[in-house]
Amino acid sequence: QKEVEQNSGPLSVPEGAIASLNCTYSDRGSQSFFWYRQYSGKSPELIMSIYSNGDKEDGRFTAQLNKASQYVSLLIRDSQPSDSATYLCAVRSNTGGFKTIFGAGTRLFVKA
């Protein structure tokens, strides 16, 4: 089982729709969770962090965390073509030493 799993996609949504990106993780002791956006040819950019169960909203982005289910999600409301990118889920693990583990990423296409 991979430490952090994401659907590779691609996920295609029409402009203005809600894009839903999902991530599961294996280390039950993980406490910090992050979403990064990576445009083609660029480095990852932090867009959200979440530490407690529930929802965290920042503009058009909402991160959701359920530690009991070991599940993190990212919702993008009113999706724009500029949101087309790969979204990486990252989990901070202290098992076996300090490290941040990234999922393989989900490619999102927003169609105008």
**CA-closest candidate to residue 20, choices 80, 70, 63, 51:** 63
**CA-closest candidate to residue 73, choices 59, 85, 57, 84:** 57
Name the residue nearer to other proteins (CB basis): 18 or 46: 46
Distance from C-alpha of 108 to C-alpha of 60, rounded to nearest angstrom: 15
Name the residue nearer to other proteins (CB basis): 72 or 79: 72
110 beta partners: 13
Query: In what side-by-side order are the strands of the sheet with 19-25?
Result: 4-6, 19-25, 71-76, 61-66, 54-58
| 73 binding other proteins? (CB under 8 A) | no
Name the residue nearer to other proteins (CB basis): 103 or 108: 103
Binding-site string for other proteins from residue 78 to residue 97, where x marks contact by CB under 8 A and - marks none = ----------x-x-x---xx
**Sites for other proteins among residues 15-34 (CB under 8 A):** 31-32, 34
Assess contact for 22 and 73: CB atoms under 8 A.
yes
| 74 binding other proteins? (CB under 8 A) | no
| 105 binding other proteins? (CB under 8 A) | yes
| 44 binding other proteins? (CB under 8 A) | yes
Q: Where along the sequence are the contacts to other proteins (CB under 8 A)?
A: 31-32, 34, 42-46, 49, 51, 88, 90, 92, 96-105
